[in-house]
Every structure is written in C-alpha cells, then in structure tokens.
Amino acid sequence: MTAWLAGLRGWRADLAAFALGVLSAAALPPVFALPILLIAVPGLLLLIDGSRGRAVAARRGWWFGFGLHLAGLYWVTEAILVEVARFWWFVPIAVPALSATLALFIAPAAAVARCARAGWPRSLALAGAWMLGDLARQFVLTGFPWNLWGSDWEFPGRLGDIFIQPAAWISIHGLTFLTVLLASIPLLGWRWRVGGVALVAVWAAAGLLRLDELKPTSPPGLNVVLVQGDVAEGQKWDRALALSIFRRYLGLTREGVAEAGSGPRVVVWPETASPFLLEPDRGARQAIEAAAGGAAALIGAVRFGPQGRPRNSLFALKGDGSIAAIYDKWHLVPFGEYQPPWVPIPVQVVPGGGFARGNGPATLHVPGLPSVGPSICYEDIFPGEIIDGTDRPDWMVNITNDAWFGNSTGPRQHLAAARMRAVEDGLPLIRAANTGISATFDAHGHELARLGLDRTGVLIVPLPGKLPPTLFSRFGLPVPLAIAGAALAVGLLGGRRGAPVCLQS
C-alpha cells in the first residue's frame, strides 16, 4: 500500500492527496476521530516522498489542504443561505475559494518537507513548516486560524482537559506541531513508535500534573447571568420584531437575576443582542438595568462612531444604567462585516462601508466587577491576541452570534476555540451566544456549564478564579515561532552534511 501511494503520479496523486485531506477533517471537533491522522499524515508524506521535486510536492500539499478545509469549513455556506436571495450566486464559490486560499499555507510546508531527507527529518520538517503556515494564516489577509489540528485534542470531559494543558506553554500552535509529528510515526521505525507512545505518556502526565497541582485563586464571589435569547438570524434585524426581541431579553434577565439570588451579579447578553442603540437610548439602558436589578451588565449592541460608521460593540453598564466602558470589535469578519479592499467582488453584507474597526485588545474596569477582557465573535479564535498583556484581566468574556451557521460543526468548533484561549491565558472564560452554545470554562479550560444550541434560556454560573500568567501569556506567539524554527532547522539539516538539497547548487 505504501509503495502504491508513493508511486502515484499526476492527477491520481492529486486526487489521493485531496481524499486524505478530506479524511483528516474528521479529526477536528466535534468528531475527534484523532486516529484518522495516523492514515492521513503518513499518506501525505508518502506522496511527498514520491514527488519529483518541490513544485510537485507543493501541489500535492495544496490538494491535501484543499480537501481538509473544504470538509472542515462546509458550514460557512450556512451563513450565505441566510442571505440567499442576495448572494445565491456565491454559494458554490465561497467555501471552495476560501479552502483554496487556506491550502496555499500547506503547499509550502509540503515543498519544504521535500527538501529534507526522507524519514524522521522529513516528518520534523513538515511539522515545523506546517506550524509556520498556521502562524502565517493568523495574520495574512486579516487572518483566519480555523481548522487548527491542535484542537483535535479537545475531547469532552477530563480527558480533553488533560491533553490541552500544554497549550498554556506552547499554545494551540504547539499542539498542532506535536500532532503532525506524532501522526507521522507509522512511517518510521519501531524506536520512533516507542518514542511516540512515550511522548503521549509524558504529555498526559504533564497535563494531569498541571490540572491537579496548579490551583486558581479564590473565586471572586460573583454570579454571572448568561442570557441566550435564541433569535433566528432572519429575525434579528427585522425592525418590526425589535421590541419583542428586546422584551425577550429583558424577561430572561429578570428570571436569571431572581434565580441568581441577592449576591454580587453581572448580566451578559450576546453579540448585538440589543436591537436598540444604547449610547443615545437612555431608556433602553435603564430598562436593562431595571431587569438586572441594579447589577452591572455587559451587553452586545451596535453603535455608530464619529464618522457615522457602525461598530460591533460590548457595552459595560453600571447599576444605574450609565455606560462605564465600551469595547469595539477590532478583528472584523471579511465580507460579513466589511468589504476587503483586496477582493473586487462586492459581497459585503453590511452597507455604508461596513463596520469600523476598534483599537485592539482591551481590559475593562467596571465598578463592582473584577477586570474583564472582552472579545466579540470570532476574535476568540486568535491565539495570543485577545487580552491586553500590559493590563491582565481577571476573567474573559466572549459574546457571539453563531446563528449564521445553524446546527453545524461551526458553532461547536467555535466553542472549542474559546476553550483553548482559557488554557493559553490561564483565565476563566464566559461565553454568551445568541443561539448557543453559551458556556463557562475555568482557567484550566474545564467546562463548568453550558446551554446548548437552539435553546432559549439563562445560565447562571459562579465566576471561577484565575491562574498565574502562563508561559504563553507572558511571551506570546514567539514561543511557537521558536519551536517551529528549531524543528525546521533540525529537520532540514538532519541526517546529512551541508545544506539541504533544495539549497544546494
């Protein structure tokens, strides 16, 4: 079988790479078929082994990446179907175009791996180059670090808690590196297989030790009331329904506050939950605070800046209804929130130039609350970019609206991203989602409570304590960058004298 795969040429090799990429997507949340990678990654390496040069290896890597992202991002089509009357023509284009673009970050990894000697050097070079590609796609063209293989270890429950703990040191990118390296072991000798088993054992032991020995600070004694209105995306901006939607959120807030009791509380509404503009509408703010019983509230709503452009914002309201602070989303969604200047096709959903961008990560200091680091929607998929490192908060809150993506893998993968940020930064994370999944994670990334998809309700959770700053929260993305660089250097130089083949004259 291995000889057959390595001997494939032309379109047959490309098709095999594509099929292996599609297969590898089953390892992602929420399926977690991690053993699939023991077939997919060795298959890709065999195709690289059999390629006649870097260009052919790059092409096969691209086809693998295209299959991975095509299967892993199918749910993006759900968002287009919400506006199908306007964007029907974009349905067959969007996911293939996005997948083809993201595959461009895997193609160079395959080409670089072809420069290394077959065997462990090529596996190490592939893992390092793959990691560099993931780091690059966090920033290129505004960034979209989705389908990261480090998330394959986020199993539900304690098993997942154990295996994601190293993200506190090396981030999800480091977990991706280890995943690629371990998945390539079936092609190597028995010593490497024994070493792989030992690595997994050490990995699990380190995660277990961190879980059991590193204790968070005492909880601050604050109950968080998460409100999930479950408003369908097609109804969300219908002005005829605005008042009924607002009243739904107010009613749920009153129920949640009554259930939470008389202690310190904070109410959290999801992204753009308020259909009314809270800055000029003092009556809307007072209605929220009346429903909250004088508790502080973190409310998702749109606001308009000095130039008249909308901003996707989180309002921190004090107990008297006044505004304590405002956070504006700064990682905007291309097409959904603004028209990228580098794409000539007009597919912008928001008129008037789209949303204006905020100033970056921030820590909000609200009277009566521990300091909070906010993020809105998919901002929480960016490792090392969601908290202000100079003003570390006590907890993080993510407000989102995943109604665009229906009952697909999209909302579940988004939840997994939020969980990983809690581990990386050592902070509890509270997540309020319009149609779900609303959830709470402690500073170890352990899920404490959730309110599932397509449910209307309230989730009341005591805010957990925080952990000391993690290695990754202190030093950030240079940590996985250094790992990738070292792995790539060792892989390219391993087992040979002089420069790698692709650098020799």
pLDDT confidence of residue 46: 96
Whether residue 272 contacts residue 242, with contact meaning beta carbons closer than 8 Å, is answered with no
pLDDT confidence of residue 14: 95
Query: Do 6 and 109 reside in the same domain of the chain?
Result: yes
pLDDT range class, residue 502, cuts 50, 70, 90: low
Six-digit token string for 62: 């691209």
Query: Do 321 and 285 reside in the same domain of the chain?
Result: yes
pLDDT digits 0-9 by tens, 480-493: 999 999 999 999 99
Distance separating alpha carbons of residues 294 and 176, to the nearest angstrom: 45
- Which residue bears the tokens 């352990």? 446
Query: Do 376 and 430 reside in the same domain of the chain?
Result: yes
What count of Cα atoms within 13 Å lies in the side-chain half-sphere of residue 313?
A: 26
pLDDT confidence of residue 307: 77
Query: Do 233 and 324 reside in the same domain of the chain?
Result: yes
Distance separating alpha carbons of residues 448 and 139, to the nearest angstrom: 32
pLDDT range class, residue 7, cuts 50, 70, 90: confident
Which of 245, 273, 233, 275 is CA-nearest to residue 405? 233
Which of 17, 31, 33 is CA-nearest to residue 66? 17
Helix (H) or strand (E) holding 208: helix 190-213
- Could you tell me whether strands 296-304 and 265-268 are parallel, antiparallel, or unpaired per DSSP bridges? parallel
pLDDT digits 0-9 by tens, 412-465: 999 999 999 999 999 999 999 999 899 999 999 999 999 999 999 999 999 999
Instruction: Count CB neighbours of 49 within 10 A.
Output: 18
The answer as to whether 218 is a domain residue is: no
Query: Do 445 and 485 reside in the same domain of the chain?
Result: no
Which of 139, 118, 129, 152 is CA-nearest to residue 49? 118
Distance separating alpha carbons of residues 30 and 60, to the nearest angstrom: 27
Number of domains comprising the chain? 2
| 3-state DSSP helix/strand/coil % of the chain, to nearest 5 | 50, 15, 35
Query: Do 243 and 348 reside in the same domain of the chain?
Result: yes
Mean pLDDT of 166-193: 96
The answer as to whether 283 is a domain residue is: yes
Query: What does pLDDT average to over the chain?
Result: 92
The answer as to whether 424 is a domain residue is: yes
Query: Do 135 and 257 reside in the same domain of the chain?
Result: no
Query: Do 400 and 439 reside in the same domain of the chain?
Result: yes
The answer as to whether 472 is a domain residue is: no
Domain boundaries, position 69: 2-213+477-503
CATH number at 358 reads: 3.60.110.10
Query: Do 26 and 166 reside in the same domain of the chain?
Result: yes
pLDDT digits 0-9 by tens, 109-119: 999 999 999 99
Whether residue 289 contacts residue 254, with contact meaning beta carbons closer than 8 Å, is answered with no
Query: Do 179 and 235 reside in the same domain of the chain?
Result: no
pLDDT confidence of residue 505: 32
Six-digit token string for 11: 């379109």
AA identity, residue 52: R
AA identity, residue 25: A
pLDDT digits 0-9 by tens, 32-70: 999 999 999 999 999 999 999 999 999 999 999 999 999
Distance separating alpha carbons of residues 131 and 177, to the nearest angstrom: 6
Whether residue 155 is predicted with pLDDT greater than 90 in this model: the reply is yes
The answer as to whether 366 is a domain residue is: yes
Query: Do 445 and 496 reside in the same domain of the chain?
Result: no
pLDDT digits 0-9 by tens, 335-369: 777 777 666 666 555 656 688 889 989 999 999 99
Cite the active site residues.
271, 329, 377
457-462: strand order across its sheet: 323-328, 310-317, 296-304, 265-268, 223-228, 457-462
pLDDT digits 0-9 by tens, 67-83: 999 999 999 888 777 77
pLDDT confidence of residue 504: 41
Whether residue 494 is predicted with pLDDT greater than 60 in this model: the reply is yes
Whether residue 244 contacts residue 232, with contact meaning beta carbons closer than 8 Å, is answered with no
pLDDT confidence of residue 185: 94
Query: Do 153 and 241 reside in the same domain of the chain?
Result: no
